[in-house]
Chains A and B, each alone.
Chain A
Amino acid sequence: QQPVQSPQAVILREGEDAVINCSSSKALYSVHWYRQKHGEAPVFLMILLKGGEQKGHEKISASFNEKKQQSSLYLTASQLSYSGTYFCGTATMEYGNKLVFGAGTILRVKS
């Protein structure tokens, strides 16, 4: 079942912060975050695993609430380069070897 992302879109000014949420109705094994710019492939940002392990870019932070099956991606002091569509992908405890992606959150950073 597809995870639900919120908000659908957000507009920021440079330097502002944003939070993107990803929620699942299934018990999750891992949550993956990607950023995709128009016409390009998604770029890996972070993976969060059940049990607390995280791997990803230094300047990206995220959380994974295992009780609520929710993850949040925190974008602080946004830059123009942060613009794009952010996707979360979730692997459930039942099907841990494949990802189901959310519909995406469009982020636009203005100068």
Chain B
Amino acid sequence: DGGITQSPKYLFRKEGQNVTLSCEQNLNHDAMYWYRQDPGQGLRLIYYSQIVNDFQKGDIAEGYSVSREKKESFPLTVTSAQKNPTAFYLCASSPRGLAGGGEQYFGPGTRLTVT
């Protein structure tokens, strides 16, 4: 089955620790995205990548880092510099990127709690 997988579904960390969230897609999509959602709010873009080995900052990139070494993988690291890391993190992909008129599909998300 084709799709976007994120693991784990729930993640708990102590303050001060870096944590990496996984995102894998087997849809052969070119573009991938990371969003953050806080309770009762919309989605905010953290980072996005349109091709392998290239990525751009979104609207709230501070305290986060990404890599895109393979087309199918786009991991997100939440560093200790992120002041309020507790949130629902959503990965998405698009067949040819939004600027190419492509739609965007979301993975199931990872709920991160930092205490």
Given contacts A41-B109, A97-B48, A101-B43, contact A47 B99 (CB under 8 A): no
B22 to chain A, nearest CB (A): 15
CA distance A73 to B112 in the complex (A): 32
Chain B: how many interface residues by the 8 Å CB criterion?
A: 24
Chain B interface (Cβ within 8 Å of chain A)? 31, 33, 41-45, 48, 50, 56, 58-59, 90, 97-99, 101, 103-109
Q: Which residues on the A side are within 8 Å of B45 (C-beta)?
A: 98-100
CA distance A104 to B38 in the complex (A): 13
**Docked-complex contact A41 and B90, CB < 8 angstroms:** yes
Task: List 3 tightest A-B contacts by C-beta distance, closest first.
Answer: A96-B99, A97-B99, A101-B42
Chain A interface (Cβ within 8 Å of chain B)? 2, 29-30, 32, 34, 40-44, 47, 49, 53, 55, 87, 89, 91, 96-104
**Apart from A89-B43, A98-B48, A104-B42, 11 more pairs, CB < 8 Å:** A2-B42, A41-B109, A42-B90, A42-B106, A43-B106, A44-B105, A47-B101, A53-B101, A91-B99, A97-B50, A97-B98
CA distance A91 to B100 in the complex (A): 11
